[in-house]
């Protein structure tokens, strides 16, 4: 049996996992990222978690083939440098070099959304596809593109920023500086913003009561209130799905993948999200009259996608 280590570096947590050749996670280890702090300290904790995960699996580093890292931002897989990651405060960080100071193994690095997409491609909802796109609906909208079994990162390793394509000209402000981005409407953050706007317009409705009971508005508030019969909540959900369908239709029109999988926290809503969204896409997609169209599915690996994808970056880069 061959074993690999995948490290998922996030703004909140560092999670390392040992993954076997059958794509099963054997053991994990995690710690807080504790940003902001010096990049070398974060790298040292990443290496420690990798070693800890291997120990938790009852293995030794000699039994590990390589280490893969999924990181936010622009990760140059050729040089091993994280060129820029705004939420971590990284700029031209030689991450592979830092990790290899502790772990004498080949180390590979990739953007975290690309790593998660590769995980779904090798072991999840996109398994068996030749070309796939994975969209993650979290704090932002992440994108990962697989073309002929390879991760597409663009000429400058900053490709697949699907979330920063505009779907509403002069629309809501996006964190990237543009207005009207897919991310500004279809992320959990965008859904929360629209929910708060609806609560302000109807402070006595079910959405407002749920938010008060829970102490906050989250991405589930509108969906839960809709299920409880709130008409305002249904309007929020319908608007959210309309924007999500627009971004997904655009993505399909550009790439025409075999499979497009939707992951992230919002995707946990399942059919109430997926079915009406698919109906819009099927009606609007350019290839609606084609015999073969993109299959839209919910991602299946959850938070493990990034670990599994990172663990097999040695194959992706081989």
* Per-residue pLDDT tens digits for 75-87: 999 999 999 887 7
In CATH, what class is 3-121+304-316?
alpha beta
CA distance 44 to 99: 7
Show Cβ contacts of residue 239 under 8 Å, excluding neighbours closer than 6 positions. 194
Least confident stretch, 52-56, 60-64, 82-86, 194-198:
82-86
Average pLDDT over residues 292-318: 91
d(CA 75, CA 93): 9
Q: What's the pLDDT tens digit per position in 109-140?
A: 999 999 999 999 999 999 999 999 999 998 88
**Beta pairing partners, 28:** 17
Q: Is 177 helix (H, G, I), strand (E, B) or coil?
A: coil
> CA 268 to CA 276: how far, in whole Å?
15
**Max alpha carbon distance in the chain (Å)?**
62
Of 67 and 175, more confident: 67
CA 171 to chain centre: 23
d(C-alpha 92, C-alpha 29), whole Å? 26
User: How far apart are the C-alpha atoms of 150 and 117, rounded to whole Å?
Assistant: 11
- Residue ranges matching CATH 3.30.420.40 in the chain: 3-121+304-316, 128-298
Report the pLDDT value the prediction gives residue 318, as an integer from 0 to 100.
Answer: 60
Q: Which CATH architecture has domain 128-298?
A: 2-Layer Sandwich (3.30)
Mean pLDDT of 84-109: 93
The predicted model gives 243-247 an average pLDDT of: 98
Q: Residue-wise over 77-86: b if at least 16 C-beta within 10 A, else e?
A: beebbbbbbe
d(CA 138, CA 279): 22
Q: pLDDT digits over 57-69, tens only?
A: 999 999 999 999 9
- Where does the chain have alpha helices with state H? 39-56, 95-100, 112-123, 182-186, 188-201, 206-214, 221-227, 231-255, 271-284, 304-311, 313-316
Which residue, among 112, 135, 126, has the nearest Cα to 277 in the 3D structure?
135
Radius of gyration (Cα) for the chain, nearest Å?
20
3-state SS class at 3: strand
Q: Scan for tokens 């990284």, then name that residue.
A: 90
Kindly report whether the peptide bond that precedes residue 234 is cis, defined as omega within 30 degrees of 0: no
At 315, is the pLDDT very low, low, confident or very high (cuts 50, 70, 90)? confident
């Amino acid at each position: 049996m061959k074993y690999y280590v995948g490290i998922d570096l996030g703004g909140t947590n560092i999670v390392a996992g040992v993954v076997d050749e059958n794509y099963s996670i054997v053991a994990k280890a995690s710690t807080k990222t504790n940003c902001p702090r010096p990049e070398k300290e974060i790298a040292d904790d990443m290496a420690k978690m990798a070693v800890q995960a291997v120990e938790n699996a009852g293995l030794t580093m000699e039994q590990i083939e390589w280490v893969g890292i999924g990181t936010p931002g622009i990760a140059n897989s050729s040089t091993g440098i994280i060129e820029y990651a705004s939420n971590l405060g990284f700029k031209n960080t030689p991450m592979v070099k830092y990790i290899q100071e502790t772990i004498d193994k080949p180390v590979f690095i990739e953007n975290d959304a690309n790593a998660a997409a590769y995980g779904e491609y090798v072991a999840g909802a996109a398994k068996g596809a030749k070309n796939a796109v994975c969209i993650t609906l979290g704090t932002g909208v992440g994108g990962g593109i697989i073309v002929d079994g390879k991760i597409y990162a663009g000429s400058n390793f900053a490709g697949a920023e699907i979330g920063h394509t505009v779907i509403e000209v002069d629309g809501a402000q996006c964190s990237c500086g543009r207005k009207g981005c897919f991310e500004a409407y279809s992320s959990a953050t965008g859904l929360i913003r629209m929910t708060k706007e609806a609560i302000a317009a109807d402070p006595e409705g079910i959405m407002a009561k749920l938010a008060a009971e829970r102490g906050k508005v989250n991405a589930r508030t509108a969906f839960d209130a809709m299920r409880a019969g709130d008409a305002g909540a249904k309007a929020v959900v319908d608007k959210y799905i309309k924007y999500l369908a627009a971004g997904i239709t655009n993505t399909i029109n550009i790439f025409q993948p075999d499979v497009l999988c939707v992951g992230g926290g919002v995707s946990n809503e399942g059919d109430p999200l997926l079915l009406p969204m698919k109906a819009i896409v099927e009606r609007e997609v350019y290839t609606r009259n084609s015999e073969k169209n993109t299959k839209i599915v919910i991602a299946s690996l959850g938070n493990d996608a990034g670990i599994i994808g990172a663990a097999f970056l040695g194959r992706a880069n081989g």
